[in-house]
A and B are shown apart, each in its own frame.
Chain A
Amino acid sequence: MEPKVNLELALQHGLNEEEYANILTILGRVPTYTELGIFSVMWSEHCSYKNSISEIKKLPRSGPRLLVQAGEENAGLIDIGEGMAVAFKIESHNHPSAVEPYQGAATGVGGIMRDIFTMGARPIASLNSLRFGNIDNPRTKYLMKGIVKGIGDYGNSFGVPTIAGEIYFDDSYNENPIVNAMSVGIVKHSEIAKAIAKGVGNSVMIVGSATGRDGIHGATFASEEISEESEQKRPSVQVGDPFTEKLLLEATLEAIKTGYVIGIQDMGAAGITCSASEMSARGNSGMIINLNLVPVREEHMSSYEIMLSESQERMLLVIQPEHEDAIKSIFDKWELQCCRIGEVTNDGKIGIYYNTLQVADIPAYNLVLGGGAPVYYRESKKPEYIDELRKFDLNSLPEPNDYNDCLLRLLSSPNICSRRWVYMQYDRMVRTNTIINISGNAAVVRIKGSNKALAMKTDCNARYVYLNPYEGAKIAVAEAARNVVCVGAKPLAITNCLNFGNPYKPEIYWQFKETIRGISAACLALNTPVTGGNVSFYNENPDGAIFPTPVIGMIGEITDFRNYMSSDFKNNGDIVILLGKTTGHIGGSEYLKHIFNTTAGDAPHIDLAAEFRLQELVLELIGKDLLNSVHDLSEGGLAIALAESSIYACENNRSLGVKVLLPEDGRMDYSLFGEDQSRVLISANSNNLCKIKAIVDEYDIEFSIIGEVVTDQFSINNLINLKLAEIATLYNNTIEKNIIE
């Protein structure tokens, strides 16, 4: 027996009074129970972006290489020449991962993969951006083991290499981890598929897995704060089946190649409801669907449950009736279901039938983002903590007595040390396109049949964003671009995943608005438009919100992939050069956090014009083959970059370190561990020095020769003198030691 629909039930569904009144107006009657369910998921924050869309529209979303507008299709699409395009997108799966880490993370990977191959693109790489609470917290260990295994098991079985990402730890994520999954795919222009329903009488087909009761109201669940009751939402978490998804991938790409697919969309959040209404709205058409024809895996499912199920590994297709047999035979070959469940209409409505009764009749336009879904302009207010934290007197900190000890402690900071324990669980090489042995910076994947390669990376130092959302967001974009540049790639475009707290809190919304402003400024300055992305609000728990975490996923292009660059030192005697200006900015640094247990000060500020010049300079130097290594400076500053380039050399069986001599003016700890932006560490043969200097001068970038690459030694002034094996072991084993015990 279905519950009676009234305001109270609507409120229980997460709709507010105004929204319920709006539904009554749209329909001109009280909605059915199924209709209420449909409205509640489509108008949830997760699907409607109702509290973010007014801001997101301010992001720079155009550029000569963009093939679709941001938000127009399931993922962004950029032209890379030779008749090829790159489809890419990042998406959050934070809430499900908080209550069921393994399945939550696994289905996050599966969901973003479908967004890519539904466009006709074959996924070539997977990335993920993770945030966990304090590493000493038992819950962190539990979440991290489950999430890493979930990502690994899904991607490994699905057969797409997981090649890059980043992980940070901070107390603000103790209850609410961040799991953002990004996928990148390649498609020929001629084989791009659209998520559209058109042509009256065309068949609507459901393909892939049968529909079960898993994931019902997943989208609504993702639009609330995590609380003690969240544990009860475990049934809202979907269950992943990478094997079926692999079959679905092959069958879908084969089907799209026939040219018979008019429209296709994967089923993720809000399942059939979302695909049917979005495809219809895009095509200015409608659909009638008979739910009795949907293959189900459980008995006695109601229309409400079928419409809201978020069972994984399903797609909705629109094709002409005469092509049904051809499409069916492809899915038969891959032993997947392919059933006609309805047809396209021209009345603009989603008409749902079950057991011969009509259970829903809603104009598609009214359901979707950009159509009738609510749009809110939220109040914002600068939080008080920002000015408070800036008052902190950084000069009050004692200078360390023992710099060796200080560097060793930083190398074993969970935010700096090697992520080896994590990435060893990911198949990084399947499909033999991943360039081996590029440590640090970004990952590089060659494109078979062409000389091109793509570089990719996700980035976000959320502590900076917390201290200064505008500068922090600029840095997130700039650092992602710089990382891509350091492997020799030209940054092309970004996708972003904006993870924030409750948007109804004005302080949170201020963080959000400032972040959008920062991303916009950086994307304009660096010519990397936003191709799409995802917003995840309500990342809160009883102790407060997470750090605002706008994760940037950057794609870069290497025209001739043999010219990629790596960050490890190559030869004894090479000159070590620092590009960019060091002032010793220590506010918001990992040094301040890890050594003094303090999060305070202002984030570093970044001059985007200088950053752009630096990036162009590095690309020119790499392009002219003048460098032997390039490494970005980030957390831990210069000292950590020097240590990493040495450690990576050791991993490639070259026992190379550095002998560095820096001018001793001011506090050396700030010069060594400060996190000034727009800096890159390079090494080169001394014969190239004059040529390098001449090019650097053209770009007006600060240039300092700081030392040379030497065998078996790591020394900085007379402050630091360490054995390479010691720093490498510490760097490589810290996570493992912390997680497994």
Chain B
Amino acid sequence: MSYPKQKFGVVVFPGSNCDHDAYYVLKSIFKQDTRFLWHKDSSLDGVDAVILPGGFSYGDYLRCGAIARFSPIMKEVTAFANDGGIVIGICNGFQVLCEAGLLPGALLRNECLTFICKFVDLRVENSETRFTSECKTGEVLHIPIAHGEGNYFADDDTLERLEKNGQILFRYCSPDGSITKESNPNGSSGNIAGIMNATGNVMGLMPHPERAADPLIGPIDGQKIFQSVIKSITKYEQANNYSIVERS
């Protein structure tokens, strides 16, 4: 299968360590035009979507993502997001997005107090988004997590708002799709694993879709998320082009 080419930028903070993984999936599996964006850069190089990858930005010795949000590139990322650009934060990237205020809530330490690396099941809560259009609502994806601080927390009002607006994208679930305490690996409120902002262009998730996208090493459910994003940019551009044609 081939996909139309889009421009992706993967931000490299000092201490990012899943930057190459996101790059590899986009470049080698999906054949997208992909580049790294250095944390000190002050331009996004005209990309269509930005990925904040996993890792331990600045060592995460302070609160995760608390320093990375002050990186020069984050000013550009914030402006890009506020302008409707697609931004995806994976794991540490999700933490950075919360610290930067681009997504609500915070990621606390895992309830069990240890780092957890394992495959989990995720229920797709809303497939009518730019990040999940290739999934079905209620579908279960098998994707790994690897974090010490992925326990999503938000106050009740926020949780209610997220729920009402369909901003909750993924919940930890059992293999049959039921939301249970046993299937919640880190103590997240409402088993939340991934959310988007109110305008639907910024997503953060703790699981690593880029680790479940290469059939040569294992499961590939993560591909659906990248496929959704690539298609959504394409459609978005086509729609924009179309309107230009109409106007002229």
Distance from A146 Cβ to chain B, minimum over Cβ atoms (Å): 12
Contact assessment for A429 and B146 in the assembled complex, using a CB-CB cutoff below 8 Å: yes
In the complex, B216 has a CB within 8 A of chain A: yes
- Give A111-161 interface residues, CB cut-off 8 Å to B: 149, 152-153, 156-159
Contact assessment for A431 and B21 in the assembled complex, using a CB-CB cutoff below 8 Å: yes
Contact assessment for B59 and A243 in the assembled complex, using a CB-CB cutoff below 8 Å: yes
Mask of B46-75 contacts with A, CB within 8 angstroms, 1/0: 000000001110111100000000000000
In the complex, B219 has a CB within 8 A of chain A: yes
Contact assessment for A446 and B216 in the assembled complex, using a CB-CB cutoff below 8 Å: yes
Residues of A within 8 A of B208 (CB): 429
Contact assessment for A157 and B59 in the assembled complex, using a CB-CB cutoff below 8 Å: yes
Q: In the complex, A238 Cα to B95 Cα: how many Å?
A: 30
Contact assessment for B17 and A434 in the assembled complex, using a CB-CB cutoff below 8 Å: no
Q: In the complex, A436 Cα to B213 Cα: how many Å?
A: 12
Residues of A within 8 A of B55 (CB): 157, 159
Among B14, B21, B175, which residue has the most Cβ atoms of chain A within 10 A?
B14
Contact assessment for A448 and B59 in the assembled complex, using a CB-CB cutoff below 8 Å: no
Q: In the complex, A99 Cα to B17 Cα: how many Å?
A: 31
Residues of B within 8 A of A427 (CB): 115, 117, 146
Distance from B173 Cβ to chain A, minimum over Cβ atoms (Å): 15
Q: A157-B15, A427-B146, A429-B211 are in contact. Are A436 and B115 (CB under 8 A)?
A: no
Closest to B218 in A: A436
Distance from A240 Cβ to chain B, minimum over Cβ atoms (Å): 11
Contact assessment for A432 and B17 in the assembled complex, using a CB-CB cutoff below 8 Å: no
Residues of B within 8 A of A334 (CB): 14
Contact assessment for B61 and A243 in the assembled complex, using a CB-CB cutoff below 8 Å: yes
Contact assessment for A242 and B217 in the assembled complex, using a CB-CB cutoff below 8 Å: no
Contact assessment for B17 and A426 in the assembled complex, using a CB-CB cutoff below 8 Å: no
Q: A159-B55, A424-B117 are in contact. Are A435 and B218 (CB under 8 A)?
A: yes
Distance from A653 Cβ to chain B, minimum over Cβ atoms (Å): 7
Q: A425-B117, A426-B117, A562-B216 are in contact. Are A432 and B21 (CB under 8 A)?
A: yes
Residues of A within 8 A of B21 (CB): 430-432
Q: In the complex, A241 Cα to B58 Cα: how many Å?
A: 11
Residues of B within 8 A of A437 (CB): 218
Q: In the complex, A429 Cα to B143 Cα: how many Å?
A: 12
Contact assessment for B216 and A242 in the assembled complex, using a CB-CB cutoff below 8 Å: no
Q: In the complex, A244 Cα to B144 Cα: how many Å?
A: 27
Closest to A157 in B: B56
Label chain A's interface by main secondary structure.
loop
Residues of B within 8 A of A425 (CB): 114-117
Q: A436-B217, A436-B218, A562-B216 are in contact. Are A241 and B17 (CB under 8 A)?
A: no
Contact assessment for A431 and B114 in the assembled complex, using a CB-CB cutoff below 8 Å: no
Closest to B56 in A: A157
Q: In the complex, A424 Cα to B60 Cα: how many Å?
A: 20
Distance from B233 Cβ to chain A, minimum over Cβ atoms (Å): 23
Contact assessment for B115 and A243 in the assembled complex, using a CB-CB cutoff below 8 Å: no
Q: A158-B17, A431-B20, A432-B210 are in contact. Are A446 and B115 (CB under 8 A)?
A: no
Residues of A within 8 A of B210 (CB): 432
Distance from B158 Cβ to chain A, minimum over Cβ atoms (Å): 29
Q: In the complex, which of the residues B15, B17, B116, B217 contacts A433, with contact meaning CB atoms closer than 8 Å?
A: B217
Residues of B within 8 A of A432 (CB): 21, 24-25, 210-211, 214, 217
Q: In the complex, which of the residues A158, A244, A430, A561 contacts B18, with contact meaning CB atoms closer than 8 Å?
A: A430
Contact assessment for B217 and A434 in the assembled complex, using a CB-CB cutoff below 8 Å: yes
- Give A400-458 interface residues, CB cut-off 8 Å to B: 423-437, 446, 448
Distance from A735 Cβ to chain B, minimum over Cβ atoms (Å): 13
In the complex, A231 has a CB within 8 A of chain B: no
Contact assessment for A430 and B217 in the assembled complex, using a CB-CB cutoff below 8 Å: no
In the complex, B164 has a CB within 8 A of chain A: no
In the complex, A727 has a CB within 8 A of chain B: no
Residues of B within 8 A of A157 (CB): 15, 17, 55-56, 59-60
In the complex, B118 has a CB within 8 A of chain A: yes
Q: In the complex, which of the residues B20, B61, B115, B216 contacts A156, with contact meaning CB atoms closer than 8 Å?
A: B115
Distance from A140 Cβ to chain B, minimum over Cβ atoms (Å): 17
Q: In the complex, which of the residues A241, A426, A436 contacts B219, with contact meaning CB atoms closer than 8 Å?
A: A436
Residues of B within 8 A of A93 (CB): none
- Give A723-737 interface residues, CB cut-off 8 Å to B: none
Q: In the complex, A430 Cα to B218 Cα: how many Å?
A: 13
Distance from A252 Cβ to chain B, minimum over Cβ atoms (Å): 14
Among A247, A335, A431, A562, which residue has the most Cβ atoms of chain B within 10 A?
A431
Among A159, A247, A425, which residue has the most Cβ atoms of chain B within 10 A?
A159
Residues of B within 8 A of A446 (CB): 216-217
Mask of A212-253 contacts with B, CB within 8 angstroms, 1/0: 000000000000000000000000000001111011000000
Contact assessment for B218 and A246 in the assembled complex, using a CB-CB cutoff below 8 Å: no
Distance from A312 Cβ to chain B, minimum over Cβ atoms (Å): 13
Contact assessment for A448 and B24 in the assembled complex, using a CB-CB cutoff below 8 Å: yes
Q: In the complex, A425 Cα to B112 Cα: how many Å?
A: 11
Distance from A436 Cβ to chain B, minimum over Cβ atoms (Å): 3
Q: In the complex, A653 Cα to B118 Cα: how many Å?
A: 15
Q: In the complex, A424 Cα to B146 Cα: how many Å?
A: 9
Closest to A451 in B: B216
Q: In the complex, which of the residues A149, A243, A335 contacts B56, with contact meaning CB atoms closer than 8 Å?
A: A243
- Give B141-191 interface residues, CB cut-off 8 Å to A: 144, 146, 148, 175
Distance from A525 Cβ to chain B, minimum over Cβ atoms (Å): 33
Contact assessment for B117 and A246 in the assembled complex, using a CB-CB cutoff below 8 Å: no
Residues of A within 8 A of B58 (CB): 243
Closest to A153 in B: B115
Contact assessment for B146 and A243 in the assembled complex, using a CB-CB cutoff below 8 Å: no
Distance from B73 Cβ to chain A, minimum over Cβ atoms (Å): 15
Q: In the complex, which of the residues A152, A158, A242, A433 contacts B115, with contact meaning CB atoms closer than 8 Å?
A: A152
Closest 9 CB pairs of A and B: A159-B17, A243-B59, A436-B218, A157-B56, A427-B146, A432-B21, A425-B115, A427-B117, A429-B211
Chain A contacts to B: CB under 8 angstroms: 149, 152-153, 156-159, 241-244, 246-247, 334-335, 423-437, 446, 448, 561-562, 653
- Given pairs A430-B146, A432-B211, A446-B216, 5 additional interface contacts (CB within 8 A): A149-B115, A242-B56, A243-B59, A424-B118, A561-B216
Q: What are 6 pairs between A and B in contact, CB < 8 Å?
A: A153-B115, A243-B59, A246-B15, A246-B17, A334-B14, A335-B14
